Amino acid sequence: MSQEALITNIQRYSINDGPGIRTTVFLKGCTLNCAWCHNPECIHFFPEIYWKQSLCRQCGRCFDVCPQEAIQPPIALGQDKENAHYYKIDLSRCDRCMRCVEACIYGALVQVGEPKTVEEVLEEVERDLPFYLNSGGGMTVTGGEPTAFPDFTRELLRGAQERGIHTCLDTSGFCEWEVLDSLRPYANIFLYDIKCLSGKLHVMRTGVNNSPILANLRRLAECGEHIIVRIPVIPAFNDSPEHMEKVADFLRELGPAVMQVDLLPFHNWCHDKYRWLGREWEYRDVQSLPVSEVDDLLDIMEERGLKTTIGG
C-alpha cells in the first residue's frame, strides 16, 4: 500500500529550492524547533487550523458546531480586536475534529496539513514534467523534516526518479545515519541545512544537538553525494563574520561534494502564519535582513572557494 503523510503544501514553480523550476513538497512534522522558523505550520506532526482574522465575519457557525466547546463566543473578544485570534480556539480542548473548518463558509478557518499518499503527490508533481525537463528542475521534498518520514520520503523520491524527475531532499540532517543512507540512492541533490557550529547555542535555539547533523554531513560528503548547504542567516545568532569564517572552513574541508552554499537571510514575512495559528513568535518585531547585509558573509564563503548564492 502507498505510504501516506501529512502535506501542508505542494508548491509549483519554485525557483529557490534547488536547480531549475521545481515543485516543492512540504511535509508536516519536524524534529527541530528553531526559534526563527519560517514554516511554523510544518513543526507539529498533526493537522492544525489557520484562523484568518481578516476573513472572519463573526457569524458564529464554528461556535455552534464545535462539540468540545473549544471556540470562545465572539462576545469574549472584548475590545482587543487585533489579537482576538490568540484566544478564540482553546487548543487544550480542541480535538482537531475539523467540524468548524467545514462549517466556515467564508474561508476564515483552514485546515493545515492533509494526508496524501505518495501516488497522490506524484500525480500533482508530474504535471509540470515539461518545465523540469526544460529548466533542469524537478521535485524537492522539504518540511518540516522529511527524514522523520523515511518510508514515505524514500517512496516519493524513488517514484519521482522512476518518472524521470530530478530529486532534491531538503534536510536538517538530524536523524540516524541509516535513514540518510537509505535515502541516498533516490536523492540527486541534498539540500543540507547548517545553522551554527556551537553545540550549546544550537541546542538553545533549535532544541537539538548539532553533533549528529555535522557527522552526517561529513559522511554524506565522504560518500561523494551532491550537496548544497543552506544556511539561514539569523540576526544575533549566526550572522557574525567570525562564525561564518568557521562555517566556511568546515565546509571547505568537506571537499568537492559541497557544490554550493546558499545563504538565506532572515525574513519576517511568515508572521501572519504565526498569527493564524494563534502562536506568539519572538522574532515578530525583528526586521528582515537586507541582502546587502549578507554580502560580506558571501565574500567570506567565496574567498574559500565555495560557490555561494544569497537565496530567498
CA distance 137 to 131: 7
Of 13 and 106, CB closest to ligand SF4: 106
**Which range, of 101-109, 139-147, 170-178, 286-294, touches ligand SF4 by CB under 6 A?**
101-109
Which region, judged by CB under 6 A, interacts with ligand SF4, from 9-17, 68-76, 127-135, 200-208?
Answer: 68-76
Nearer to ligand SF4, 99 or 246 (CB): 99
- Indicate which single residue of 5, 6, 89, 175 sits in contact with ligand SF4 (rule: CB under 6 A): 89
Binding window for ligand SF4 (CB under 6 A); candidates: 96-104, 132-140, 163-171, 178-186: 96-104
The 23-62 site mask, x for binding ligand SF4 (CB under 6 A), equals ---------------------------------xxxxxxx
Nearest to ligand SF4 of 104, 263 (CB atom): 104
3 state SS for the chain? CCCEEEEEEEEEEECCCCCCCEEEEEECCCCCCCCCCCCHHHCCCCCEEEECHHHCCCCCHHHHHCCCCCECCHHHHCCCHHHHHHHCECCCCCCCCCHHHHHCCCCCEEEECEEEEHHHHHHHHHCCHHHHHHHCCEEEEECCCHHHCHHHHHHHHHHHHHCCCEEEEEECCCCCHHHHHHHHHHCCEEEEECCCCCHHHHHHHHCCCCHHHHHHHHHHHHCCCCEEEEEEECCCCCCCHHHHHHHHHHHHHCHHHEEEEEEEECCCCCHHHHHHHCCCCCCCCCCCCCHHHCHHHHHHHHHCCCCEEECC
Residue 246 burial class via C-beta count within 10 angstroms: exposed 0-12, middle 13-18, buried 19 and up = middle
Judged by beta carbon, residue 58 or residue 209, the one nearer ligand SF4 is: 58
Q: Which residues of 272-302 are buried (b: 16+ CB within 10 A; e: fewer)?
A: ebbbbbbeebebeebeebeeeebeebbebbe
Question: Could you tell me the smallest distance in angstroms from the CB atom of residue 105 to ligand SF4?
Answer: 7
Nearer to ligand SF4, 243 or 279 (CB): 279
Q: How far is the CB of 183 from ligand SF4 (least distance, A)?
A: 34
Residue from 13, 46, 106, 177 that binds ligand SF4 (CB under 6 A)?
A: 106
* Size of the residue set binding ligand SF4 (CB under 6 A): 25
Interface with ligand SF4, residue 219, by CB under 6 A: no
Segment near ligand SF4 (CB under 6 A), from 11-19, 97-105, 269-277, 279-287? Answer: 97-105
Q: Please, what is the minimum distance in Å from the beta carbon of residue 296 to ligand SF4? A: 46
Among 90-98, 159-167, 259-267, 289-297, which window interacts with ligand SF4 (CB under 6 A)? 90-98
CB of 271 to ligand SF4, least distance (A): 20
Return residues touching ligand SF4 (CB under 6 A): 56-62, 65-66, 68, 70-71, 89, 94-100, 103-104, 106, 108-109
